[in-house]
Structure 1
Amino acid sequence: MNRHRTTKTAAALATTLLAAAVLSGCGGDSAYCAAVKDNQRALNSFGSAATDVAFAKEARAVRRIAATHPEKIGRDWTTIDTAMRGVQKAQKKAGITFDGLNDPEKRAEADDADVEAIQKAYARFNDTAKQRKAVVEDVQKTCDVTLK
């Protein structure tokens, strides 16, 4: 009887391990691909609306994906995330919204050093074009998700 119970236990354990391997392997998305799919709408709207709300959504999407530490492309996601945080931090410090940046009166009211910091932050973000291209290509290849 003891041998029968041991055999049943071993069989149940083997079945459980096999199921776990299948589910964690090709059967399910990686944390990276799941984060991409969860944030696909924000990624696809990237740059379509120059508002604080839109940029914040896009930045959150990038931050969530970067937090999964994708194996091959993690450094690029982190670079983009850091640049976006820099833009948000500079704007917050200056108290200027996206709309305010395009308003000559509001820009004139802002401290010159703050406006310069915002411009530098945007330049650092614009310098991530290579990384943004790389992540779009990786998302297609790794997660089978096409971003617009």
Structure 2
Amino acid sequence: MTQPLREALAQCRRHAVVLAQARADLPPRFDTAHVLSPSDALVRAGDQFVLRFIKLQDTLGEQVLRPFTVEVLGEPVSDLPLIDVLNRLERYGFLRLHDWARWRALRNALTHEYPDRPDLRVAVLNDALDAADGLAALLGRLEGRSAVSGAGGAED
């Protein structure tokens, strides 16, 4: 496994750890009161959660999935669209396409505040709380396979 992939996985792990820490400081479920009049502590934890969710999803999509598929799985996807990379990862059992699409949509929704729609903000935040475990589980599967595959490559 190349150094850039190792570093990207380490960066993802850091995002996942901070994401989990922030999630622990959040309520199990958001409600309208949390969105309309949050405490300072809730704002800080919520901001950290949202930031790390976005960063984890972005880093996986931009720096990990394609190199992982090429280097670890040996699939020639360097010049293929991301959907083809995702299809290969689904075939190998690392993710489900509809999960990835959901995580991407959540990532995009989290970038908006929806000041006139507290109900929508609550729904997006609760969906992200549910989805965070899935993103972390994907990272764990990628790390696990990378550790097995990276034990003796030419670039180690």
TM-score by length of 1: 0.45
TM-score by length of 2: 0.43
- Higher Cα Rg: structure 1 or 2? 1
Relative contact order higher in (CA < 8 Å, ≥ 6 apart): 2
